[in-house]
Amino acid sequence: MAAALLFTAGDLARMRFAFSPMWEVGPSLRLLRSGLAHPVHRPWAEQVRPRLAALGPGYALLAELVPPAGYVPDFLNPTPAGPAPSLAEELVAIRATPARLVRRDLDRLRDDRGGLGPRLRALYGDPVGGLARLTEAVEAYWQLALAPYWARIRAVLDADVLYRARQAAEHGAARVLNGLHAELRWTEDTLRLRHRSRPLPDRTAGAGLLLIPSAFTGPALYTRLTPPDPLQLAYPARGIGTLWATAPPAGAEALAAVLGRSRTRLLTELAAPASTTELAHRTGLSPAAVSQYLTALRDARLVSAHRVGRSVLYARTASAEALLAPLGQG
């Protein structure tokens, strides 16, 4: 079954790209809940799944709201106000969702699933208090599952948008739309989505089109259309297959002459986020020494810290990734 959306010149003029942390939260949570050994995200999932218990009751609320398959409430994906909103900005937008829209989405979820669990019934009865609890749970999940990896994920998303922008400049918007996904086709003034179960309205009335690359949507194309907001299309970003690839950094020896061998060793070990205890075990350094070096690296903005329950995970920043990039590559 295909759905068609008639566009105006104003819609195309308002077509834009944006990154959205919430478009990573929902699909990544769905992947974890599926229990599958994903061909691309398996290294990430194997690191994150054992830590989910640290989320406590908040995880149960997220699990009720994001099923392994099927509809996910639209209020979880507010329209990004700019090209790269922070998670905090998106959580503010979620908390501001009117109660009637929360209940509308939960009604659809209930119809789709045949009922609501106890936590979603509580959200239905008290949307204001429920959204506050929900955004706290999302923030905790983000710190555990995505924030330590965000520099790497963001690099893939940046590369995708740069590629699409060059396509648009050289060949026009039609080439961009026809190259996003196999189920998306643009012909003249009509956007067609194959296998969409729900119909689309005849027009977007100048609302535009929002294209959102995502690392975790998998092969699927996700849509959100809640007028008067623009249509959101979340599509798999290019280059996801290399997202978790690790290789010995060719520039490590040169970097050690500047940072010192121990600090450089810690940066190379942080190809995957880790705690002080894990790093001490891997490197043979004392926990006190690891803590001291990590503090220096954090002050230099080469690592970031993310609390997960009672422990703290350290991760490389985008600046560190650039320093460790193989020599001779931009």
108 pLDDT band, cuts 50/70/90, is very high
- 17-21, 215-219, 301-305: segment of lowest average pLDDT: 215-219
If one counts the domains in the chain, the total is 3
Average pLDDT over every residue of 130-138: 96
N-terminal to C-terminal alpha carbon distance within the chain: 44
Residue at a domain's end among 242, 274, 291 = 242
The verdict on 141 and 200 lying in the same domain is no
- Whether residue 213 has pLDDT greater than 70: yes
- Whether residue 82 has pLDDT greater than 60: yes
The verdict on 299 and 208 lying in the same domain is no
- Whether residue 239 has pLDDT greater than 90: no
Structural domain for 272, as ranges: 252-323
Residue at a domain's end among 220, 242, 264 = 242
Average pLDDT over every residue of 281-292: 86
Q: Is 247 within a domain? A: no
- 30-44, 129-143, 315-329: segment of lowest average pLDDT: 315-329
The verdict on 237 and 279 lying in the same domain is no
- Whether residue 328 has pLDDT greater than 50: no
Reference 73, options 224, 182, 185; nearest CA is: 224
Residue at token pair 């799944």: 49
The verdict on 30 and 111 lying in the same domain is yes
Higher pLDDT pick, 308 / 111: 111
Q: Is 61 within a domain? A: yes
pLDDT at 272: 78
Per-residue pLDDT tens over the stretch 7-54: 666 677 778 899 999 999 999 999 998 877 788 899 899 989 988 888
Higher pLDDT pick, 1 / 279: 279
The verdict on 189 and 214 lying in the same domain is yes
Q: Is 271 within a domain? A: yes
The verdict on 134 and 170 lying in the same domain is no
Q: Is 329 within a domain? A: no
pLDDT at 53: 85
pLDDT at 327: 41
Contacts of residue 317, Cβ cutoff 8 Å, sequence gap at least 6: 151, 301, 302, 303, 304
The verdict on 222 and 298 lying in the same domain is no
Residues in the chain, overall count = 330
The verdict on 28 and 132 lying in the same domain is yes
The verdict on 215 and 126 lying in the same domain is no
Asked if residues 225 and 37 have their Cβ atoms less than 8 Å apart, the reply is no
Q: What is the mean pLDDT of the chain?
A: 84
Reference 123, options 73, 56, 67, 70; nearest CA is: 73
- Whether residue 165 has pLDDT greater than 80: yes
The verdict on 133 and 31 lying in the same domain is yes
The verdict on 42 and 143 lying in the same domain is yes
pLDDT at 251: 59
Q: Which pTM value belongs to this model?
A: 0.78
Q: Is 330 within a domain? A: no
The verdict on 127 and 168 lying in the same domain is no
Per-residue pLDDT tens over the stretch 181-210: 888 887 777 777 765 555 555 544 457 789
